[in-house]
Amino acid sequence: MDIDSLVQRNKDDLAGLEQVLAYRFTDLRLLQKALIHSSFAFEQAQIDNNNEILEFLGDAVLDLVIGHTLCKQFPEMREGELTRLRSSLVNETHLAKMARDLQLGDYLCLGKGEAASNGRNKSSILSCAYEAIIGAIFEDSDYATVEAVIRRFFVPDMAAKKEELLMADAKSRLQEALQERFNEAPSYRIDLEEGPSHQKVFSVSVLFRDAALGSGTGGSKKEAEQRAASATLAELDEVIQRFSE
């Protein structure tokens, strides 16, 4: 079955997906091709009629648009932080989640074996199809249009992902800042450990030159230390001034 026949057969489903994407294709064959897994193309003897090239293109477009958007949204972040934040947004797990939110699996053309083995819910297949759709929109339109589509889906997650990243990096960022300024590293003190063994709560303080700085609590020592470091970073200017006098 060639691509035009597939478009004709699936035109109602494709129209529904266009509504979900809030984008109307000029060439509906591009959207259809983005939904064709290689297993289906092989069974149909249409080897080149699959979504792999569009996936390759979509991956590059996502990296560019997300990177560009993050630079504008968070100009205070460093290059390494921006790279890690982009990676937390553009990866198989997150893209597959976004594909599931769109119920993308319902629209895929899969080979019989892949369909029988729960292929419509496989993260690898869903994430690739999501990238292929981004590539198809880019091919069908231009940079500004695909940027608007990507931003609509990704921007709502950016602030939360940033907070997760900064919390996870708080200890290393605090250590780098203090070592750069004073050539000394902070330490951490457990102030309180309470609760049953399966539901412990830890309270931790950051120590620097025997002085207690920020504090934090968490369900593990690591989490409490990260929260204490994050609290200290929030007052880093005052900390530096205090120990520079």
Q: pLDDT tens across 171-196, in order?
A: 888 888 899 899 999 999 999 999 98
- Supply φ then ψ for residue 48, to 5 degrees: -85, -10
Q: Would you say residue 233 lies in a domain? A: yes
Q: Would you say residue 171 lies in a domain? A: no
Cα dihedral across residues 154, 58, 127, 124: positive or negative: negative
Task: Report the SS3 class of residue 95.
Answer: helix
Per-residue pLDDT, 176? 86
The active-site residue, picked from 12, 13, 48, 59, is: 59
Tell me how far apart the alpha carbons of residues 1 and 4 are, in angstroms, rounded to a whole number: 8
58: part of which helix (H) or strand (E)?
helix 52-73
| CB-neighbour burial class of residue 114 (10 A; exposed 0-12, middle 13-18, buried 19+) | buried
Same domain, residue pair 86 and 190 = no
Same domain, residue pair 85 and 193 = no
What's the token pair of residue 19?
């509504």
Tell me how far apart the alpha carbons of residues 86 and 88 are, in angstroms, rounded to a whole number: 5
Query: 51 pLDDT band (50/70/90 cuts)?
Result: very high
Per-residue pLDDT, 244? 87
Same domain, residue pair 9 and 94 = yes
Tell me how far apart the alpha carbons of residues 117 and 119 are, in angstroms, rounded to a whole number: 6
Work out the mean pLDDT of the chain and round it to a whole number. Answer: 91
Q: Would you say residue 176 lies in a domain? A: no
CB of 191 within 8 A of CB of 173? no
Find the mean pLDDT for residues 43-69.
Answer: 91
| Cα angle for residues 98, 104, 109 (degrees, 5° grid) | 145
Same domain, residue pair 159 and 200 = no
Same domain, residue pair 161 and 191 = no
Q: Which of 96, 131, 165 lies at the terminal end of a domain, its last residue?
A: 165
Active-site annotation holds for 59 = yes
Same domain, residue pair 86 and 204 = no
Tell me how far apart the alpha carbons of residues 8 and 3 are, in angstroms, rounded to a whole number: 9
What's the token pair of residue 83?
């790279």
88: domain CATH number? 1.10.1520.10
Total number of domains constituting the chain: 2
Per-residue pLDDT, 47? 61
Radius of gyration (C-alpha) of the chain in whole angstroms: 24
Same domain, residue pair 110 and 22 = yes
Domain coverage including residue 206: 186-244
Per-residue pLDDT, 2? 84
CB of 190 within 8 A of CB of 204? yes
Tell me how far apart the alpha carbons of residues 19 and 13 are, in angstroms, rounded to a whole number: 10
Task: Report the SS3 class of residue 84.
Answer: helix
The active-site residue, picked from 43, 63, 76, 131, is: 131
- pLDDT above 90: percentage of residues in the chain: 67
Q: Would you say residue 170 lies in a domain? A: no
190: domain CATH number? 3.30.160.20
Beta strands in the chain (DSSP E): 187-194, 201-208, 211-218
Same domain, residue pair 62 and 140 = yes
Find the mean pLDDT for residues 55-84.
Answer: 92
Query: 159 pLDDT band (50/70/90 cuts)?
Result: confident
Q: Would you say residue 17 lies in a domain? A: yes
Same domain, residue pair 159 and 197 = no
- Supply φ then ψ for residue 92, to 5 degrees: -55, -45
